[in-house]
Chains A and B, each alone.
Chain A
Amino acid sequence: MGPTTLPKKPIDNWEQVRDEWVTTVEQLVRAVESWAQGQGWAVRREPKKIEENRIGAYEVPQLLFQLPAGRFLLDPVARFVTGAEGLVDLYVLPSYDAVMIARARDGWVLHSQNADGARQDLTEQTFVDTVLQLAKAA
């Protein structure tokens, strides 16, 4: 992937880190897309351009999906995050209630929006449960 913008504060192997992050996000979006389709929810991908000071500009997919109770957006945020190795938000629209999906060393973890910061591993079951819970707040 050729960068359109060079990083402002590049890390040593920024191109490698950027490409690895893009691949990881694409894998996550593919998995979530499959889980959502399995529930019969209509899904649509949209490209999102992100720029980070350490790895420059890149493009990743966002995923929109629709439930009767509301629209959802799986929204990649950043590779460089304090306390994680990448972050994707899951929003319900129009309330914008959200959970954070953080990349840990051994996989993706759901972080509650609440102050308790409850965490659980991201699986098809936890994803569906979380979406249904967020849908109540839509």
Chain B
Amino acid sequence: MSKRQDRLQRIRAVEREYLAATVAVDLLEEQLRANPAYLVPFELRNRDAGQLRANLEATFLIRVFAEFESGLRDAWDKAFGRTTHPPLRDLLPAIAALRLVPQDWLDEADEVRAYRNTLVHEGESNATIIPLDETRRRLCRYFSHLPRDW
């Protein structure tokens, strides 16, 4: 398997973990409807389960983005032989220029970066909300223009 393919699969694997987690949360909620005290032995409250549901997609989006960024930095270092560590807002256009990434694809990956930042640094900006499947699609599309191997 090529390095690029491996990195793309890692991103997709995190999305699949998210889908598995949504199933797990559905089951937990079903259990709580049948037995509202189900979480008590675990020293947890039903509110914790509610928070889990509310934050699940954002949590996995941050992980998907971390895989994407890790792949970009690996390529920056090993494929392009760069020793610098630019901030992501600069790294995205720099690699796009090296690899002829269409402008729309770059713009859309950068929108994900901005949204990820609002999740990590709460309230930093009012970036557009991007669902996880759309996040994965945008980041994989950008990443598909990296070299096959490095």
Contact = CB atoms under 8 A, between A and B. Distances in A.
A53 B96 CA distance: 17
Interface of B is mostly: helix
Interface string B96-111: 1111111111110000
B149 A102 contact: no
A78 B150 contact: no
B36 interface: no
A81 B150 contact: no
Nearest to B147: A115
Contact-size category for A: 10 to 19
A80 B104 contact: yes
Contact of A82 (B80, B100, B148, B149): B100
A99 B127 CA distance: 35
Given A52-B104, A113-B148, A82 B97 contact: yes
B103 A114 contact: no
25 contacts: A52-B104, A53-B104, A54-B104, A78-B103, A78-B105, A80-B102, A81-B100, A81-B102, A82-B93, A82-B96, A82-B106, A87-B102, A97-B148, A100-B100, A100-B145, A111-B100, A113-B147, A113-B148, A114-B148, A114-B149, A115-B75, A115-B79, A115-B80, A115-B149, A117-B147
